[in-house]
Amino acid sequence: MGSSATAARTALGRYGEDVAARHLVESGMTVLERNWRCDLGEIDIVARRGDVLAVVEVKTRATTNFGSPLEGVTPRKAARLRRLAARWLAEHPVKPAEVRIDVIGVVIPHRGAPQVDHVQAVA
């Protein structure tokens, strides 16, 4: 795969994360952090509403020809997200009553508005 395809995929992913962050804010959540990294990996979005902290994985696709973006979160990926959530909490002075792992699938069609599918507490 050439660098232009990689750049296009990176741009698609970034746009999907922007769409997902906007969706979270519109649903009443506050985005605390985006693209937080540590040696274990990356959290796309950390958001909060009241006493609930959501660690959000964003999956973006241009088409559903290869399935829903939500299918990209395997049990192994969910386990890694739980470890990342624990690390984020250890490094931040936030003590929520509940921590959940959410997945937001974003499909960006060739024409029309992005389709957002937000699944809460997947892991």
Residue 28 region, left (φ>0) first, then alpha (ψ -120 to 50), else beta? left
Q: What is the pTM of this model?
A: 0.89
CATH topology of domain 3-119: Trna Endonuclease; Chain: A, domain 1 (3.40.1350)
Tell me what the mean pLDDT of segment 40-53 comes to: 96
* Tokens encoding 37: 């990294």
* pLDDT number for residue 61: 87
Residue entry with tokens 């906007």: 22
Collapsing DSSP states into helix, strand and coil, what is residue 43?
strand
Quick one: pLDDT band at residue 123, thresholds 50, 70, 90?
low
Residue 1 has pLDDT above 70, yes or no: no
Domain range summary for the chain, segments of one domain joined by +: 3-119
Q: Tens digit of pLDDT for each residue in 16-40?
A: 999 999 999 999 999 999 999 999 9
Model confidence over 68-115: pLDDT tens digits? Answer: 777 778 888 889 999 999 999 999 999 999 999 999 999 988 888 899
